[in-house]
Amino acid sequence: MTTVSIQDLMNLLPRYFIPAQAKGIAARIGFDLSGEGGGYWTVVIENQTCRIVKEKIEPLDLTLSGEADVVLDIFRGRLDAMRAYLMGKIKMAGNMSLAMQLTGLFKPDKDELRALGGKVDESV
């Protein structure tokens, strides 16, 4: 069985983005991910749009670093983002107010993740 890769997730993030939740937000968020499929992506949010760039675009407002699998688990609903941070599985540097808003900016499509081969927790 194939699994969803972090690149798959990054390709889907603009589709999962909720523009109405991003009113007044202009930010560059770096994802510095290690492990299988890791790499560096910058999520650019401006004018209630979201785009992903597969490189670091400075200046960054927030940087998230950790294992790619942990980020996938957060978006699949298997791991709470705050819990991952408190457990040290994700590290954040920069605008912590923005960090608190992040999960409200995206609504992953669990059916789509399942179609890509990812296991999805329906209880979340």
Q: Where are the domains of the chain?
A: 6-102
For 45-67, the pLDDT digits (tens) are 999 999 999 999 999 999 999 99
SS3 94: strand
Tokens at 16, concatenated = 């999962």
Give the mean pLDDT of the chain: 89
Compute how many other C-beta atoms are within 10 angstroms of the C-beta atom of residue 102: 17
Output phi, psi for 123, to 5 deg. -80, -10
Amino acid at 3: T
Average pLDDT over residues 105-110: 87
CATH class, range 6-102: alpha beta
